[in-house]
Amino acid sequence: MIYKFYQLHIFPHLLNQVMQVPSLMDKRRELLLAVSGEVLEIGFGTGLNLAFYQNVDTVFALEPNPDIFHLAAKRVHAAPFEVQHILAGAEKLPFADESLDHVVSTWTLCSIADIETALEEIYRVLKPTGTFHLVEHVQHNENRKIKQLQHLLTPIQKKVADGCHLDRHMQKLLEDAQFECFETQYFDAEGIPKIGQRMLLARARKLS
Ligand SMILES: C[S@@+](CC[C@H](N)C(=O)[O-])C[C@H]1O[C@@H](n2cnc3c(N)ncnc32)[C@H](O)[C@@H]1O
């Protein structure tokens, strides 16, 4: 019962605060400048990306947790473009094959239970010329100690942070799902504990 209360009434607010760390907000800006037209954002969260879209017409805001989406209300109303909430997980996307130019994920791939199926779905709905834009925390492959700690602490992290895995090798998962990263930038985000500080900003297209 206490855990349920935490999940419903505490975690969404914690998420909203933590995800506004200035170094993360800077990366949102950098990632989203290149996005235009219609965009599908998976794991929309509390709407923190909305302020950084410069040239979009519609954001399909896919978010499976209504308690989290609820906290996005003010940002959604203030957006100067259409925002459509879709109550769904990324494992089953309600879009036709090859129908989207842009899919965005910001710190969402870590939380998706069936990541392989979600990546298959993103691949399916992207046009052959489409782009998957992402920024995610990742497994630290350059630091063995942190990597080991990430493996050790992921079961606890999944409990306290709504399914979040600390130890996903995102670039490999993308390549296994037949994506090719044409832009990759690894960095350590300021203001984030070392265990989750290693990040990847990438743009990926479908391998033909
Ligand atoms: C760490 S939060 C990031 C939120 C937001 N993208 C941001 O940048 O602030 C992870 C988000 O992924 C969502 N999520 C969890 N499982 C998911 C799934 N299977 N499909 C899509 N989103 C999911 C969570 O509800 C949460 O909003």
Q: What integer pLDDT is reported at residue 208 of this predicted model? A: 77
Give the residue extent of every domain in the chain.
Answer: 2-206
**pLDDT at residue 136 greater than cutoff 80:** yes
**pLDDT band, very low/low/confident/very high, at 130 (cuts 50, 70, 90):** very high
**C-beta of 157 in contact with ligand 1 (< 6 A):** no
Per-residue pLDDT of 100-126, as tens digits, reads 999 999 999 999 999 999 999 999 999
| CA torsion, ordered 117, 205, 134, 120, to nearest 10 deg | 0
- Homologous superfamily (CATH) for 2-206: Vaccinia Virus protein VP39 (3.40.50.150)
**Any ligand 1 atom below 6 A from CB of 112:** yes
Q: Whose CA is nearest to atom 20 of ligand 1?
A: 89
**pLDDT exceeds 80 at position 4:** yes
Residue 5 has pLDDT above 90, yes or no: no
Q: Which amino acid is at 111?
A: S
* Ligand 1 proximity of 90 Cβ (cutoff 6 Å): yes
Does residue 96 surpass a pLDDT of 80? Answer: yes
Atom from ligand 1 closest to the CA of residue 48: 9
pLDDT confidence of residue 185: 98
pLDDT at 132: 98
pLDDT digits (tens, 9 = 90+) for 157-177: 999 999 999 999 999 999 999
Taking the CA of residue 161 as reference, the ligand 1 atom at the shortest distance is 1
CA-based nearest residue to 171, from 128, 129, 208, 142: 142
User: What is the CA(1)–ligand 1 centre distance, in A?
Assistant: 23
* Predicted pLDDT at 199: 98
pLDDT digits (tens, 9 = 90+) for 49-92: 999 999 999 999 999 999 999 999 999 999 999 999 999 999 99
Confidence band, pLDDT 50/70/90 cuts, at residue 8? confident
**Averaged pLDDT, 10-29:** 94
pLDDT band, very low/low/confident/very high, at 6 (cuts 50, 70, 90): confident
Whole-angstrom Cα distance, residue 59 to residue 69?
A: 14
* pLDDT (0 to 100) of residue 186: 98
> If DSSP codes are grouped into helix, strand and coil, which group holds residue 149?
helix
63 lines ligand 1 (CB under 6 A): yes
What 3-state class would DSSP assign to 43? Answer: coil
pLDDT at position 146 is: 98
Beta bridge partners of 105: 42, 134
Ligand 1 pocket test target in 111, 116, 117, 121 with most atoms within 8 Å of CB:
111
Looking at residue 7, what is its pLDDT?
A: 87
Q: What percent of the chain has pLDDT over 70?
A: 100
Residue with CA at minimum distance from ligand 1 atom 23 = 43
Q: Is 196 exposed, middle or buried (0-12, 13-18, 19+ CB in 10 A)?
A: buried
Which of the 8 DSSP states describes residue 6? I
